[in-house]
Amino acid sequence: MLTVLYEDEQFIAVHKPAGMLVHRTKLNSSERVYAMQVVRDQIGSHVFPVHRLDKPTSGILLFAKSSETARAVSELIQRHEVDKKYVGVVRGWTLDSDTIDYALKEQLDKTTDSKARKDKPAQAAVTEYQTIKRIELPNAVGRYASARYSWVEMNPKSGRKHQLRRHFKHIFHPILGDRKYGDRDHNAFWLNTHHIRKLCLAATELSFTHPYSSLPVCIRCAPDFPAPVLEVFEIQGC
């Protein structure tokens, strides 16, 4: 069972836990549990994903209850009329607010993208962020005598693969727990001290104008980061 955050005749939004795939993929053929399958079984009808979350990312996941509704929301996304907000814990102290405008090369998978062009130019990618809180721990990590972290609200203005994870690596503030783009020393510190290996990135707000009722829809959820992470920031989680 997944926690339902919003539901009407056209949509259902659930909280996807970290480590769960949105749908079946050739790259993870050994996986047996998918969010789409769980929601389908939960409500007794087919659902259609209108956006994706990386496997290690938790938070709001929206499904349409028909292919027509899914297409309607896809058009909203293409017109940049769906607003997504995430929160993440990153290494170091970020600026109070900033815009990351950094084009990203498309990442191709050998299995699923074997026929895709490999010479495509980098695609425009923009992320706005605001720093909510900063902390400093009296623990030596890497070459520094203390460990600094920022609690950041992220607002991607485009939807490139791994955009937030790649953008924050680009500005030298990788997201805590990111095994692919993160900082090994800081990941090891949290693993060794608190047994935490979870990516600290969560989709916490999704808002759009309902394509049928024309009413505003705003879906929110609290981040489900591990308790020790929430405690040091004095943040209330799920």
Torsion 40-43-47-49 (CA) sign = negative
Question: Bridge-partner residues for 163, per DSSP?
Answer: none
pLDDT tens track for 171-211: 999 999 999 999 999 999 999 999 999 999 999 999 999 99
For residues 158, 2, 69, 222, the Cα torsion angle rounded to the nearest 10 degrees is -40
Q: Contact 162/181 with Cβ under 8 angstroms?
A: yes
Q: Which residue in 8, 54, 96, 224 is the catalytic one?
A: 54
Whether residue 148 has pLDDT greater than 50: yes
Concerning whether 224 is annotated as a catalytic residue, the answer is no
Instruction: Say what the pLDDT of residue 33 is.
Output: 81
Distance of alpha carbon 108 from alpha carbon 192, whole angstroms: 33
Percent of the chain at pLDDT > 90 equals: 81
pLDDT tens track for 149-163: 999 999 999 999 999
Whether residue 129 has pLDDT greater than 70: yes
Distance of alpha carbon 144 from alpha carbon 169, whole angstroms: 18
Residue with tokens 């769960």: 20
Phi, psi of 15, rounded to the nearest 5 degrees: -95, 115
pLDDT band for 110, please (50, 70, 90 cuts).
low
Instruction: Say what the pLDDT of residue 34 is.
Output: 87
Distance of alpha carbon 230 from alpha carbon 151, whole angstroms: 10
Q: Contact 178/88 with Cβ under 8 angstroms?
A: no
Lookup: tokens for 52? 């994706």
Q: Which residue spans within 69-226 are E strands per DSSP?
A: 83-91, 97-101, 126-137, 147-156, 201-209, 216-220
Instruction: Say what the pLDDT of residue 85 is.
Output: 98
Lookup: tokens for 162? 């791994």
Whether residue 230 has pLDDT greater than 90: yes
pLDDT tens track for 61-70: 999 999 999 9
- The single-letter DSSP state of residue 104 is B
How would you label 25-45 residue by residue, b for 16+ Cβ within 10 Å and e otherwise?
A: eeeeeeeeebbbebbeeeeee
pLDDT tens track for 62-91: 999 999 999 999 999 989 999 999 999 999
Whether residue 134 has pLDDT greater than 80: yes
Q: Go through the chain and tell me how many residues it has.
A: 238
**Domains in the chain, start-ordered, CATH in brackets?**
4-233 (3.30.2350.10)
Whether this model's pTM surpasses 0.85: yes
